[in-house]
A and B are shown apart, each in its own frame.
Chain A
Amino acid sequence: MTAYDCIIVGAGSVGVPTALAMGKEGLKTLVLDSAPSVGCGDNKHAIGGIRATHSHKGKIWVCQRSIEIFSKWEEKFGDDIEWIQGGYSFVAYNDSDEKLLKDNVQLQKRYGLNIDYHEAEKIKELIPGINGDGLLGGTFSPEDGNASPLLAINAFYRQARNFGVLFKFKEEVIGVRINKKQIVSIKTLKETFQTQCIINAAGAHARDIAQMVGSVVPVTPDSHEAGITEPVKRFFTPMIVDIRPSEGSKNYYFYQNREGKIIFCLTPHPPIVGTDRRETSVFLPQIAKRMINLLPRLKNIKVRRTWRGLYPMTPDGCPIVGPINEINGYINAVGMCGQGYMIGPGVGEVLARLVAEKCTLKDQEILEEFSLYRDFAEEEKLK
Chain B
Amino acid sequence: MLNRITEHPILPIPELKELKFFWNGKLMRGLEGMVISSALFMNGVKIFGHHPKDNSPQGIFCANNQCAQCTVLVNGKPVKSCMIPLEEGMRIQSCRGLPELTAEDSPVTFGKSSVVETDVLVIGAGPAGLSATKMLGEKGLSVILIDDKDRIGGKLVLQTHKFFGSIQDVFAGKRGIEIAEILGKAVESLSNVDIWLSSTAIAVFSDKMVGILKEKEYTLVKPKKLLIATGAREKMLVFPGDTLPGVYGAGAFQTLVNRDLVRSADRIFIIGGGNVGLIAGYHALQAGIDVVGLVEALPQCGGYKVHEDKLRRLGVSIYTNHTILSANGNDKVESITIGQLDSNWNVVRGTEKSFLCDTILIAVGLDPVHEFYNKAKEFGMDVWVAGDAQEIAEASAAIFTGRIEAVKILHSFGIETEEKLEALEEKAQITKSPLPKFEKREIPPQEEGIFPIFHCDQEIPCNPCTEVCPQHQIETENDMITSLPYFKGEKICTGCGRCAAVCPGLAISLIDYRKDKENPFITFPHEIIEKNVNKGEKVTVMSNDGELGEFPIERIRKLKKYPRTLLITVKLPKKVAKYAIGIKTQSDKIGEPLTIYHKPPLVDDAIVCRCERVTAGEIRKWICQGVTDINQLKALTHVQMGACGGKTCTALINRIFWEEGIDHDLITQGTQRPLFVEVPLGIFACVKEVKNK
Contact = CB atoms under 8 A, between A and B. Distances in A.
B545 interface: no
Contacts of B112: 285
Given A233-B98, A279-B206, A282-B207, A289 B110 contact: yes
Interface residues of A, number: 47
Nearest to A294: B107
A189 interface: no
A304 B203 CA distance: 11
A86 B413 CA distance: 57
A191 interface: no
Contact of B675 (A40, A153, A298, A305): A305
Contact of B102 (A154, A231, A292, A297): A297
A37 B627 contact: yes
A230 B643 contact: yes
A278 B675 contact: no
Nearest to B636: A154
Contacts of A279: 203, 205-206, 673-674
A307 B680 CA distance: 17
A303 B681 contact: yes
Contact of B643 (A232, A291, A304): A304
B689 to A, nearest CB: 12
Contacts of B105: 129, 296-297
Contacts of A296: 104-108
A288 interface: yes
Interface string A245-270: 00000000000000010000000000
Contacts of A289: 110, 685
Contacts of B110: 289, 292-293
Contacts of A382: none
B207 A231 contact: no
A280 B685 contact: no
A32 to B, nearest CB: 16
Interface string B97-115: 1111111111110101100
A307 B673 contact: yes
A153 B635 contact: yes
Nearest to B209: A281
Given A279-B205, A281-B205, A292 B678 contact: no
Contact of A232 (B98, B632, B674): B98
Nearest to A256: B101
Contacts, number: 151
Contacts of A282: 207
Contacts of A303: 675, 678-681, 684
A300 B101 contact: yes
Given A231-B52, A292-B685, A299-B108, A37 B680 contact: no
B631 A40 contact: yes
B618 to A, nearest CB: 14
A262 to B, nearest CB: 9
Q: Is the interface of B mostly helix, strand, loop or mixed?
A: loop
A233 B99 contact: yes
A278 B672 CA distance: 11
A129 B103 contact: yes
Contacts of A304: 643, 645, 675, 678
A284 interface: yes
A153 B634 CA distance: 13
Nearest to B380: A278
B207 A280 contact: yes
Given A40-B629, A306-B675, A301 B668 contact: no
Given A235-B101, A280-B207, A292 B635 contact: no
B679 A302 contact: yes
In the complex, which of the residues A36, A276, A291 has the most CB atoms of chain B within 10 Å of its own CB atom? A36
A285 B207 CA distance: 14
Interface residues of B, number: 53
Contacts of B643: 230, 304
B99 A288 contact: no
Contacts of A150: 634-636
B681 A305 contact: no
Contact of A292 (B101, B378, B687): B687
A289 to B, nearest CB: 4
A44 interface: yes
Given A282-B207, A285-B685, A299-B680, A133 B107 contact: yes
Contacts of A307: 673
Contacts of B101: 232-233, 235, 297-298, 300-301
Interface string B632-648: 10111000010101000
B635 to A, nearest CB: 3
Interface string B660-689: 000000001000011100111111111100
Given A232-B101, A292-B685, A305 B645 contact: yes
Nearest to B101: A232
Interface in B66-116: 77-78, 97-108, 110, 112-113
Contacts of B684: 284-285, 288, 303
B682 A300 contact: yes
Contact of B681 (A133, A276, A288): A288
A305 B674 contact: yes
Nearest to B379: A278
Q: Choose among A44, A284, A305 the residue with the greatest number of B CB atoms under 10 Å from its CB.
A: A284
Contact of B99 (A129, A232, A298, A299): A232
B218 interface: yes
A292 B668 contact: no
A170 B632 CA distance: 14
B580 to A, nearest CB: 57
Contacts of B258: none
Contacts of A40: 629, 631
A300 B79 CA distance: 11
B205 A39 contact: no
A38 interface: yes
B628 interface: yes
A64 to B, nearest CB: 26
Interface string A92-136: 000000000000000000000000000000000000110101000
B211 interface: yes
Nearest to B218: A285
A307 B631 CA distance: 14
B103 A297 contact: yes
A229 interface: yes
B364 interface: no
B289 interface: no
B220 interface: yes
A233 B636 contact: no
B552 to A, nearest CB: 61
A184 interface: no
Nearest to A152: B635
Given A235-B100, A281-B205, A301-B681, 17 more contacts: A37-B668, A129-B103, A230-B643, A233-B97, A235-B101, A260-B98, A280-B206, A280-B207, A281-B220, A297-B101, A299-B685, A300-B77, A300-B104, A300-B680, A300-B681, A301-B101, A303-B675
Interface of A: 35-40, 44, 128-129, 131, 133, 150-151, 153-154, 229-233, 235, 260, 276, 278-282, 284-285, 288-289, 291-293, 296-307
Ranked 6 nearest A-B pairs via Cβ: A299-B682, A278-B206, A150-B635, A37-B629, A288-B685, A288-B684
30 contacts: A35-B629, A36-B628, A36-B631, A37-B631, A37-B632, A40-B631, A128-B103, A151-B635, A232-B101, A235-B100, A278-B206, A278-B379, A280-B205, A281-B203, A281-B207, A281-B220, A288-B682, A292-B682, A292-B687, A293-B110, A296-B108, A299-B104, A299-B680, A301-B101, A301-B680, A302-B681, A303-B684, A304-B643, A304-B678, A306-B675
